[in-house]
Chains A and B, each alone.
Chain A
Amino acid sequence: MAMFAALVAVLGQLPAIPLAGGVPITLQTLGVMLAGAVLGPWRGAGAIVLLHLLVAAGLPLLAHGSGGLGVFAGPTAGFALGWIPGAFLVGLITQASWPLRLWRTITGTVLGGILVVYACGLPVMAFQLGLSLQQALLLNLAFVPGDVVKAVIAIMLTHSLARAYPAPFTHARRRRTSRGPAR
């Protein structure tokens, strides 16, 4: 868990990858999706909570070295806090069975990694800026393609990792025996 919190932090610091359109993105939300998908709901969300505790304590662990309590007072606070339920949902859906099923990983990553994060982020941003929800959504549309690309990368990585190194997927592997009459 601690290791993954640190991994999410480091992914935020790596040089941003400029997309074809020229919009730079960092890999931090990729880390959030992976935390849920690889560690499962509880430990995945726990890793994000750990990260946020350290950020609130003043360490510059978020994207581009930002950190401190100010992050949680700013307009993007909702997105950062949305990572916690986001990672949880990614883990819950992705690791519902073992071996992992591709459609589950896709549903989980899109629902938890993108929709939940926006659902938490947009109201906070709209409230802070005095905008309506639609206006806030319009402002953030530029980030959606980057998030979709990251979701695709997260899905591919999760499935290669599950084949190459299944040890961390404990939540799903514990459920191996409990799948039965459902299929």
Chain B
Amino acid sequence: MTIAPKQPFVFSQRHLLGIEGLTREDITGLLDLSEEFVELNRQVEKKRASLRGRTQINLFFEVSTRTQASFELAGKRLGADVMNMSASSSSMRKGETLMDTAITLNAMHPDIIVVRHHASGAVELLARKVDCSVINAGDGAHEHPTQALLDALTIRRNKGGLEGLTVAICGDILHSRVARSNIILLNCMGARVRVVAPSTLLPPGIERFGVEVARDMRAGLAGADVVMMLRLQRERMNGSYVPSVSEYFQYYGLDEKKLSFAKPDALVMHPGPMNRGVEIDSIVADGPRSVIREQVEMGVAVRMAVLEALSRNLPNA
């Protein structure tokens, strides 16, 4: 009797522009593939050759340290030639438009372009003008799909699955692409999602996203398996959306007292970079329930999985 070999995962997309539009199978497939890379990344020999000969361009119109580093490492570990372009050095500063940049880069025959941009929809716009695969590394307040995937991987590894969990996403939902991607992914995978924020930081119509909405942390965190904190940008702290840092921390900052409303084994997560003492207390951020550092580790593995999955769909793969 022969055992049929496991079918290799085939991703349904040519690009990864968002979590919206992915199937449950896509998400599960990417997470399963990521697990292999978690193991690989913990070994001395971390190199694979699956992207050998491929060119990956990281095009970052918005400054980012960790996401860009994570994508760079992911590409290199898979054997790709990785080139980094960021806003400070690129011709964007000389007035070249996004579209011209896209057309120029496309002429260099890259296989995968990873894009971060401050405007919602910019990555999709660019994807329409190039022949290669495009990965959204965050566009405006729209989506940040690899963040949602790495969050899901972190939760799954700690909780054994996503189905039936209660996940509280807290803070600046209004401006957050991380929140949007997470809401879509977690809903798709059968988790219960709550958003917790002052009303000025809740986007209009959010209740129609299949989430519960809470305006205070006690109600929002009650019975939560996962507490996901979001970064509050400095320019939104002082009187524009919330009156002050101290008032925000008082009502929405995650400290030990507020965390006690959640389940005793609740995970604490943050996409980083953290504002300690604004949305999260150091004691909690560095505490036993925090998986914030693990999220960073999972980030590399997830990005390797995404690169690998997309490269299988490239022509001549």
Our verdict on whether A and B bind, yes or no, reads no
Chain B positions near chain A (C-beta within 8 angstroms): none
